[in-house]
Structure 1
Amino acid sequence: MVDVFGKSVEDGLKLSKRIYFGKDRAVSPPKQVAMEKAPHSYLPTAPMVYAEIFDPSMVDNPDIPSYQPHVHGRCDPPALIPLQMNGIVLEAECYLDTMIVTVTGSWRVHCVMGSRSCDCRLAIPMSDQAFKKEVVFVVDISGSMKGRPLENVKNGLCAALSKLNPEDSFNIIAFNGETYLFSSSLELATKETIENASQWISINFIAGGGTNILLPLNQAMEMLSNTRDSIPLIFLITDGSVEDERHICDVMKSNLTNRGSMAPRIFSFGIGSYCNHYFLQMLALISRGHYDAAYDADSIDLHMQRLFTAASTTIVANITIDTLECLDAHEVYPFHIPDLSSGSPLIVSGRYQGNFPDSLKAKGMLGDMNNFVIDLKVQKGKDIPLDKVVAKRQIDVLTAQAWLMEDKAIEEKVAKMSIQTSVPSEYTHWFLLQTNKGKQASESSGIQQVSNKIDLQRLVDSKGCKVILLRSLSMGFGDLNATAENIPPGSVEGDLSETADMLVKAASNCCGKLANCCCCMCCIKTCSRMNDQCAIFLTQLCTVLSCFGCISCCSDVCCPSGDG
């Protein structure tokens, strides 16, 4: 893509030499624009508008015909001639993960004869100042990884290695109860080294043994102790849970604090439901890294590549936001702002007391190690329920913090936030209330969320109803027994028969409820025939709706008023 663009600009500049601008006239040729010239590329360093030239015969001064010989043929791809820029302004407005870019400016099409017209192309260069990569891949090869999980991890890891640049360096540590190193030190990512690493992976990635996470992490930290002009990365992949996870976090936090702003970033990746995902999130949080997970083997490759892309395209690091000190009180999530990656939005949320400033100043460091400062204009989020939009992220951060500190006050804070926003958490439960009134032909159910500390038996006695706890939608804090026994992810599923039966009964009432609102017999017959399929669909939908706070609406439709 870059080579094609550069060749088009080169062709355009050659064509522009045909233009005669005359002497002693107000019309003058455009000023030369600064470009980075490589052997076959001309890349703009600022927003630039080009004339797209398919027919080279149209290239001429629109004011003074040059009477050049006719040029035959067409340009494919079109030649690009930089236009004379008189002024340009670029504005960007961000709304969560969406950015609207507005470019306004004026330019003169100085290179096309007056009787002809052409399209123009706007080129906005993206920063290519990504940090040089020095990365250590720390991969779990314990017995539970046997089969498809490990095979997909191999594929994802080989894909990540293929995206390294020759000037990058890397190493691989495979671990179970012991560690196995590809090399004793970091290796440059040459084509030959990548091929050797791929062969080493295929030979040494054999599932077996237990899980020891601290040892390989310490080895990775030691390998990255002398890095320069880069932000070192540790890419941790595991499906297990270990007993010393809080100790691991303390050790990593101490190492990172001693390393200062150039400390390694830990990008943690969890597989399945037996690993402690909050432990992995905490490792990422304390190191300004990122976390991702795959709960089934088929999605491992995709999610690994997504996480590695975020890790390898960092363009702004060590981000801080000033001017928040003027507030009476404030909380920021995450508490350590992670680095900004190309193509991935950085969302920082929080709560505050006081008068919020009209603008914020964000600071960071670019890939060339120069400081970066930008003013951020504050806009009011009208008609946007920001508390619910960012609730999941905030609950995850606070839950990881509550787990690490074993803080009951934070747990209660998470439970309160979960109930207010209808977002599942580790400290709340969804439950199903079944009541029978009179001689109703069908049973009805209502779904509610409560804190884990509520006395369900007292609730049953007070309401005279049957209570069934629904399966938790949260991730849990890992399973030490499953890890010790090397049980593969997804091998054991809980018994959902009773809960599913109750949800089916609730969903089965949907068509009857809707039919009461219809006067068309054809519609009623159609709903009757579709009833079984609707029940299956709505049973699956109930869980999804709960995540978006829509379950009350579903209950109103599916269940008669006052029965839930």
Structure 2
Amino acid sequence: MSEEFALRVEQGLQLARRIYYGKGIAPPVVPDPPSSPENFLPTAITAYASITDPVAVDNPDVPSYQPYVHARCDPSALVPLQMLGIEMNIDCWLDTAFVTVTGRWRVHCVRPSKRFDCCVGVPMGEKGSFLGAEIDVLNNEKSYQTKLVTEDETSDFDNVHKDKDSRFFKSHIYTFKIPHVAGGSIFSVNVTWSQKLIYKDGKFHLNVPFRFPSYVNPIGKEIIKREKIVLNMNSCVSGGEIASSFTSHPLKIIHRVAGELSCEYEAEVPSWSRVDFGVSFTVSSGDLCGNVLVKSPSPWDSDDRGIFCLYLFPGTTKHTKLFKRRVVFVIDISASMKWKPLEDVKKALLECLAKLQAEDVFNIIAFNDEILEFSTSMEFATDETISAVTEWLDSNLIANGGTNMLLPLKQAMKLLEGSNIGVPLVYLVTDGSVENEREICHAMKESCSRNGKSISPRISTFGIGSFCNHYFLQMLARIGNGYYDGTNNTDSFEHQMSRLFEIASSTIVANTTFDALKLLRSVELFPCQVPDITLGDPLILSGRYKGEFPDEVELRGTLADMSCFTIELTVQKAKDIPLDKVYLILP
């Protein structure tokens, strides 16, 4: 689907060569076909004219009288429209960013007597979730807005346009259609999405797609190109300071108080931004810190229970001794993993092994219809052993056969039974789905609950591709009190897979408990078990409750030396923090 979209854009750029811009005005440079057609996919919000009749492609102001074309485009060609202005507003709350982008475009490539649909492509950042769009077509004073409704609810709305073309054609790119826009029209689009910030080495990192290709720059010397970015960061930490250590665009501080920082970038530019917007910042330095935020339900909320969110940032000084790691990697080598996916998994696996210390132990189980073990027992992560793994992976991991997931998971649990040292971890990587998901979940739940050790095995899962049952992998990770991540992009996922392992294996406090929940009349918690505290990610719990939180609550757990850990967190009212939007609030 994404390749087809890219080919339609390439065809649209070829059609755009028909446009005459006037005497002495050079047309935009159309790039040569790239090595991969997907290089024509949008790298920032982009609007296109969806052309079915090539004859209609012309300058709406200066007709060029091009030769008639006896053909139609099926599917339609996508001509990138010239962008007249761009503004972006970003609000960061804890580990979530809400991004609102407003752009203006002109249908510069269609005769004024013709009307075609326009398509808008919206690429988003880490775990992006599209929230809505508003469209204003200025020439005919038409406006549109999106609303998420069920099929049954559509009858309750007048003038509903069912856009079957609105969809994700890649996991991070959403497209939608604007119907029947006349040539020469100017329209504005306001889109909003949420995305996650990446937490690494004590810093939050935000990256928002903001790279515009040269062919969307407007033609004409008198057209002023102005881009603007407003960034608001809110740590929610009482007295915590926000310090920025990297920005891709020159930001000017416009407001700073404890726990809040607002910056702005605005410039008149010769061409639109050619780099993504990125920023890295610290919320606080030093030890673990956090709070519990509570909020009453809004008058429009159908649920009368209160909302709460507990968050804890790992810090960088104390409590940073990691638990020793006992890891079993369970790797899918079924036929669907053939060629690049399996090769990328091998690279990521070696990257994960490089993060282990010599006193950590590991094993690898590859599976299809049967299982293949690197060793019959757990091995220390020495240089010699990892060197042997490299040879073993090249010689033995060949994709073929079906997918029997239960057998290797049971074997992984057996391998982890022999020791009380460290945090036992099963790291499952697969691109498939199986028919016995319930049986697997039940078996893993029994294995984790009946384990007599002080720390039960954790299960983390990574799913690859659109045919993988990602929901099942999420459930499996919740049962194992671990972490899940996945991707539909099979072209590049090594870093994502390696990062998930870093989060899952950098435990500093295990068996975490939040006893204040017992004082409430009722509570629903997400995730349903309190995760371990790791250096790789903030601990965040959210949910609904009835009752009264005390002024202070305690979070308890076990440190790497098996001593007790306790931290007191202040309970605060979240006055201006949109908890109902930032986190999953259970219905």
TM-score (ref. length: structure 1): 0.48
Bigger CA radius of gyration: 1
* More strand, by proportion: 2
* More helix, by proportion: 1
